[in-house]
Copies of this chain bind each other. A is one copy, B any other.
Amino acid sequence: MGSDDTPAPGAATRESATRARTRRAILDAAVSVLTADHSASLGDVAEAAGVGRTTVHRYFPERSDLLAAIGTDVRDRVAAASERARLDEGPAPEAMERLCLEYFELGDRMLLLYDVPQFVAWSGIEEESAADLALLALVRRGQQDGTLDPEVDVSWLQDVMWALLYAAWIQARDQGTPKHTALSLCLRTLRKAVAP
């Protein structure tokens, strides 16, 4: 590593395949380590990723850079999940279930984002993402056509969905419930909870 780490100082340089792989390994390891302990050290992350602590610093100069990268990563995955769910198609409750299914796959990452507010702060995730807006529109649509409970606030319905997903993850993690079972419990309960 004789000289310069950032090959093209000012431009958006494409990463080599090797670097991309290492980068992803660090990111994934960070998610799983930080999920277990929010204040884990960068040394722990490096060890879990199977790389040297120096290498972690090479990719993410400061701790906050790593956290921000995790935040951005999750943001992208959420956006992709939201699109795959095609929230504007079909009956609202079913669209909501499709969304749950997609979000459920994100697993650990969402838990992390939820209770470490710094990820959001560092990575420039704004209050209202496209995914949030799409869900908001979905709920409004469902309330208007009478398929969703019209008496509760939109943000509450949204919180309930997150809470039930959270419960399903916990159920799978702590009780050893198979993931598909936990998910189906989640969907069943959500269906009743959001019904008019």
Chain B CB count within 10 A is highest, among A39, A164, A167, for: A167
How many subunits of this chain does the assembly comprise?
2
On chain B, the residues within 8 Å of A155 by CB distance are 171, 175
Q: 0/1 per residue, A122-153, Cβ < 8 Å to B?
A: 00000000000000000000000000000111
Which of A12-20, A21-29, A49-57, A188-196 faces chain B?
A188-196
Question: CB-CB contacts of A169-195 with B at 8 A, as 1s and 0s?
Answer: 011000101000000010011001101
Number of A residues with CB within 8 Å of any CB on chain B: 25
Contacts of A38 in B (CB 8 A): 38-39
Chain B residues closer than 8 Å to A115, beta-carbon distance: 115
Offer 19 A-B interface pairs, CB within 8 angstroms, sorted by A: A38-B38, A38-B39, A39-B39, A115-B115, A151-B188, A152-B188, A155-B171, A155-B175, A156-B167, A156-B171, A156-B189, A159-B171, A160-B189, A163-B163, A163-B164, A163-B167, A189-B193, A192-B193, A193-B193
Binding site for B on A (CB under 8 A): 38-39, 115, 151-153, 155-156, 159-160, 162-164, 166-167, 170-171, 175, 177, 185, 188-189, 192-193, 195
